[in-house]
Structure 1
Amino acid sequence: MPKLLTVCLGNHCRSPFAQLALARRGGPRMVVRSAGLIGKWQDRPADPTMIDAARRLGYDLTSHRARQITLDMLDWSDIILAMDASVLATLRAICGPENEGKLRLYLGDRDVPDPIGQDGAAFDDCAVLIEAGTALHAGGRFT
């Protein structure tokens, strides 16, 4: 059973929603967790605007609490999905050579834009993009 870790900057909107969307798409065939590079929102709920965007797509993000990435999380994962190239670059710098082969961009060849500081439409667009991206990882296929 593949173990996926989704990572964004703060585990406040993109990676927690990706965790939910991937878990729904993959069902019991995969285990998905999420984390952020920084601990700014540690133990805090997801961004309220992302909670609303998730709800509109049929997801409940209210129980999420942000977590900062740890080396144990990196070691636990079979695949580490970065939400954007900046996050991927940071992961490459911290993950060590034993985890390098696990790293990928969530959308394969492009970023999931960070909606923080933007209006609700940006969060909706982000959520739709993340949900569509689950097709890249369905059934344990990793691009």
Structure 2
Amino acid sequence: MPTKVLTVCLGNYCRSPFAQLALSRRGGPRLAVRSAGLISKWQDKPAHPSMVEAARRLGFDLSAHRGRHITLEMLGWADTVLAMDASVLATLRAVFGPQHDSKLCLYLDGRDVPDPIGEDDAAFFDCAVMIEAGTALHGGGLIT
């Protein structure tokens, strides 16, 4: 049975959707990966166009993505929940309580994946490169 991973960012608009693709590719059938956001602003909307382009440049197709708002059911489904930054991690802990704390961690062990919203296309590409590199570096032992 595959390890179930949920990637979470603020809006499920750029970072966590790309992390879902990158982890899925790296982990293959050993990982079942989903993504979600803390806010519902981009619910059912496509990923940010600059992240779609950054993903394309790295050989990924993010065009089918539609935003999802995190639910308690999603959290319960996951074996591991990877927050894209410390603020997202703190919100997950505050909203969902200590019973889920053991499955919550940062996507990059000990550091944030900066949110590129409001930045230029280069920032989105740099973010995507960081996320893709993180699939090999993730300290949680999900991918060996």
Query: Normalized against structure 1, the TM-score is what?
Result: 0.96
**Cα offset for 1:142?**
4.6
Instruction: Find the counterpart in structure 2 of residue 105 from structure 1.
Output: 106
Unaligned runs of 5+ in 2: none
Q: Which residue number in structure 1 is paired with residue 141 of structure 2?
A: 141
Give the percent of matched residue pairs that are identical in Structure 1 and Structure 2: 72
Residue type at the aligned position of 1:109: G
* 1:129 and 2:137 correspond: no
RMSD: 1.5
How much has 1:137 moved relative to structure 2? 4.1
Aligned to 1:94: 95
Superposition TM-score, scaled by structure 2 size: 0.95
Q: How many angstroms apart in 1 are the aligned matches of 2:137 and 2:124?
A: 21
Partners of 1:25 and 1:44 in 2: CA distance: 25
Shift of residue 96 of structure 1?
2.3
Pairs within 5 Å for 1:64-79: 64-79=65-80
Greater Cα shift, 25-34 or 92-101:
92-101
Runs of 4+ in 1 over 6 A off after TM superposition: none
How far apart are 1:97 and its partner, in Å? 2.3
Q: How many residues align?
A: 142
CA contact (8 A) 1:136 1:142 kept: no
User: 1:94: how far off?
Assistant: 1.4
Cα distance in 2, alignment partners of residues 142 and 92 from structure 1 = 21
CA–CA distance in structure 2, aligned partners of residues 95 and 77 of structure 1? 13
Task: Write the distance in 1 (CA, Å) between the matches of 2:82 and 2:127.
Answer: 16
Structure 2 CA distance for aligned equivalents of residues 98 and 137 of structure 1: 23
